[in-house]
Amino acid sequence: MLDDTVRNEAYRAAICDNPNIFAGKTVLDVGTGTGFLAILCAKAGASRVYAIEASDMAELATVTVHENDVADKVQVIQNKIENVELPEKVDIIVSEWMGFYLLHESMIDSVIFARDKFLKPEGVMYPYKCILHSAPSYSPEIFKFWENIAGVKMNTIGQLYRTKYTGKPEIMQIHPNNILSKPLEVFEFNTKDIQQESIRKITKNVQSECHKNGVVNGIALWFDVYFHAGDKPDIVLTTAPVMSPLQLTHWKQTVIILPFEKTVEKSEKFHYNLDISKSAKNPRHYNIELNILDPDEQSAMSTSEDKSREEFHVHHNDDSEYDEYNSGSDDNN
């Protein structure tokens, strides 16, 4: 993730451009990785930074802290946050805890634990606000590839591919032109007061209206997180669809692939229900259940094997692997 310049710049701006927030403060970095965020906090004027890392990456973080001449301010602790004891409460908790579609493979539970145990009542969370968005989308690269490979048609293989990937979240880049409605909020929460129970199960009826003619073959998910910036506007880290790959984050977008392509017209309604629930097997994983709704009846359509109809229900569980198109580096913080 160190090559994610969008992510790095957002955190740098949120921390280093706001020394009035960090100067003289005690900071807790949950999941410090290489120590990147902890070092930024020290450079922004924090008096003490507790950098927690459960993995052996803590050894590299310690080296990096010394390399940046902030060892007098940053203390790297190799342990799970749930097992850590600190000598004091902290003013600020910083963490890059977000996962795919915000919650999947995230560290939010550990951040909530740290907040409840270590943050002062008047303390600050970085980031402090999170919003998950969704919209119907079109991903031509998933299936169009099979229609003509050097003049050879492979539509049958393409259909098998479609069957394999139906209902399976894909981590990929969606071009903004292939988002077919105004993005709508699935949920929003503030990290200062969110409770684990509140994000155990999230259900949302999304009532979108297409803003252009096009084809829908997926539901795209992405998120924004917000950082305090004093009297200035909030710093926003967005994982929304972007025009340039240079603006893309390592999270990209998460797309739930539909088993059909639905031709839509401008102003046509496209409604669906999203049920995002924590896995019973892995507390860092989430399951997604998607129902395409009849805009007129506002009830879930029945499951159908007739792929030419828009009747669709999918349940994705944590046993399935996530795939990634055009995958980049997956380095630690």
Active site residue 96: yes
- According to DSSP, the β-strands at 184-190 and 169-172 are unpaired
Preceding omega of 127 cis (within 30 degrees of 0) = yes
Q: How far apart are the first and last CA of the chain?
A: 6
Backbone dihedral angles phi then psi of residue 128, each to the nearest 5 degrees: -105, -25
Containing 76, the helix (H) or strand (E) segment is strand 74-78
Residue with tokens 């981590």: 171
Phi-psi region for residue 74, left (φ > 0), alpha (ψ -120 to 50) or beta? beta
In 3D space, the residue among 294, 331, 295 whose CA is nearest the CA of residue 312 turns out to be: 294
Q: What is the CA radius of gyration of the chain?
A: 22
In 3D space, the residue among 105, 62, 107 whose CA is nearest the CA of residue 81 turns out to be: 107
Active site residue 289: no
Alpha-carbon distances, residue 327 vs 89, 92, 248, 265, 298 (angstroms): 39, 33, 11, 32, 37
Count of residues for the chain? 333
Active-site residue identified among 105, 141, 209, 261: 105
Alpha-carbon distances, residue 3 vs 8, 132, 307 (angstroms): 8, 23, 41
Active-site residue identified among 9, 67, 82, 96: 96
31 close to 53: Cβ distance less than 8 angstroms? yes
280 close to 215: Cβ distance less than 8 angstroms? no
161 close to 149: Cβ distance less than 8 angstroms? no
Q: Which amino acids are annotated catalytic? A: 96, 105
